[in-house]
């Protein structure tokens, strides 16, 4: 019972903490004169990945490399297959041309690079440094490009200005909730792994990955219901890119992360789910309901295969 309380409590703290921190960060960015488009491309997308960041960083510091890497890979698969699949069922997703031309290729490249780095079964400090350097360069490019372009509209999730002290308090309070939630979640996940006989990798790929993807789920579903479907897709693509370049980069720099039970099919799924954007978006710039069903079937099939692999 205590395990489940820790798991649910950790997930709740991560979700609330991410929302509070994103709101505070976006409000602070407004006061500093950063445009709404830059906020949407960076703070909103990266901020919803905060739970993955603190969980992966905490797992890396505890020498739980499989949980750390499994969380990132599982979150990306969950974001694309499960979250976009559910969003597409609610409403066909029209996607902005910029996401198709630039953001999706960047995600595919990041996924392929991560798979190559993981062929030896670990993310080391040099790997982490490379990934983090690429993220910094990509973010600088986004900010520079967005400052040149005029935002056509502001995100519905974009907050209003608030006093400086409130923005800073929200940032610090959200971070504290994230750290507390991550600690509870990692402890509960490891206990579950030992109780059920599951590996840390499987727990990271499933339970922890779904839990840390709740902010992306909430934001993308809300955007879809408001007919801001390009925001829903952009949030997922941006978060997935940050997961690979930023979170694995930070984790690798904190401590080398070995994942000896990671198999080639996990890496194929990581790259394949990113490549799925090409046929989904290339023809009409839209993800239809039927394509959403295919994404959901792929997620259920992969999860079922992982469970069978673990019990074999």
Mean pLDDT for the chain? 81
Q: What pLDDT digit, counting tens, does each position of 184-216 carry?
A: 777 787 777 678 778 888 888 887 888 778 777
Counting the structural domains of the chain, the total is 1
Task: Pull the structure tokens for residue 80.
Answer: 């694309």
Phi/psi region, residue 300 (left: phi>0; alpha: psi -120 to 50; beta: rest), is: alpha
Q: Tell me, what's the pLDDT at 216? A: 77
Distance between CA 66 and CA 280 in Å, rounded?
31
State percent of the chain over pLDDT 90.
33
Whole-prediction pTM: 0.80
pLDDT of amino acid 159: 47
Tell me the CA distances in angstroms from 148 to 8, 35, 42, 141, 158, one per residue in order: 43, 10, 16, 11, 20
pLDDT confidence of residue 28: 64
pLDDT for 200 equals 81
Query: Measured between alpha carbons, how far is 275 from 110 in angstroms, rounded to an integer?
Result: 11
pLDDT number for residue 151: 45
How much is the pLDDT for 81?
Answer: 94
Render pLDDT for 251-299 as a digit per residue (tens, 0 to 9). Answer: 999 999 998 888 889 999 999 999 988 887 666 778 889 999 999 999 9
User: In this predicted model, which residue has the larger pLDDT, 171 or 305?
Assistant: 305
CA dist 180 and 166 (Å) reads: 21
More confident residue, 18 or 271: 271
Rounded Cα gap, residues 47 and 42, in angstroms: 8
At 244 the pLDDT is 95
β-bridge mates for residue 10, sequence order:
none
As given in the structure block, the two tokens for residue 311 are: 């019990």
Q: State how far the Cα of 153 lies from the Cα of 33, in Å rounded to an integer.
A: 16
Residue 158 has pLDDT above 60, yes or no: no
Residues 81-131: tens digit of each pLDDT: 999 999 999 999 887 777 778 888 999 999 999 999 999 989 999 999 999
Model confidence at 133: pLDDT above 90:
yes
| Distance of alpha carbon 258 from the chain centroid | 21
Q: How sure is the predictor about 155, in pLDDT bands with cuts at 50, 70 and 90? A: very low
Tokens 């797992």 found at: 59
Place of tokens 């690979």: 244
- pLDDT confidence of 152, banded at 50, 70, 90? very low
Q: Which residue has the tokens 């960015």?
A: 29
102 CB-contact burial (10 Å; exposed 0-12 / middle 13-18 / buried 19+)? middle
Boundaries of domain holding 282:
2-311
Task: Please give the full DSSP string across 116-147, using - where no structure is assigned.
Answer: HHGGGSEE-HHHHHHHHHHHHHHHHHHHHHHH
Domain of residue 66, CATH code? 1.20.1420.30
- Cβ 201 vs Cβ 56: under 8 Å: no
Tokens linked to 285: 């710039």
Quick: pLDDT tens for 172-191. 787 777 677 767 777 787 77
Question: Which band of pLDDT confidence, cut at 50, 70 and 90, is reported for residue 30?
Answer: low
């Amino acid at each position: 019972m205590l395990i489940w309380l820790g798991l649910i409590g950790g997930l709740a703290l991560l979700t609330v903490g991410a929302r509070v921190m994103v709101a505070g960060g976006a409000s602070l960015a407004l006061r500093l004169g950063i445009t709404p488009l830059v906020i949407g491309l960076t703070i909103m997308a990266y901020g919803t990945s905060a739970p993955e960041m603190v969980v992966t960083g905490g797992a890396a510091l505890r020498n739980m490399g499989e949980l750390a890497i499994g969380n990132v890979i599982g979150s990306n698969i969950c974001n694309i297959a499960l979250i976009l699949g559910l969003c597409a069922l609610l409403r066909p997703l029209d996607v902005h041309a910029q996401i198709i031309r630039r953001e999706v290729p960047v995600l595919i490249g990041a996924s392929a690079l991560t798979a190559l780095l993981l062929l030896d079964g670990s993310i080391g400090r040099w790997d982490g440094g490379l990934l983090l350097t690429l993220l910094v360069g990509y973010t600088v490019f986004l900010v520079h490009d967005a400052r040149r372009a005029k935002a056509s509209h502001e995100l519905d999730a974009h907050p209003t200005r608030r006093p400086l002290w409130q923005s800073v308090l929200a940032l610090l309070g959200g971070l504290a909730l994230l750290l507390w939630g991550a600690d509870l979640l990692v402890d509960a996940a490891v206990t579950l792994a030992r109780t059920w006989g599951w590996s840390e990798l499987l727990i990271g790929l499933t339970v922890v990955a779904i839990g840390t993807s709740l902010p992306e789920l909430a934001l993308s579903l809300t955007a879809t219901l408001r007919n801001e479907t390009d925001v829903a897709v952009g949030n997922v693509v941006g978060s997935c890119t940050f997961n690979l370049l930023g979170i694995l980069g930070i984790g690798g720099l904190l401590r080398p992360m070995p994942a000896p039970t990671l198999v080639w099919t996990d890496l194929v799924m990581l790259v394949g789910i990113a490549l799925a954007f090409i046929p989904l978006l290339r023809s009409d710039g839209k993800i239809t309901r039927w394509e959403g069903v295919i994404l959901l079937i792929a997620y259920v099939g992969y999860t079922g295969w992982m469970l069978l692999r673990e019990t074999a």
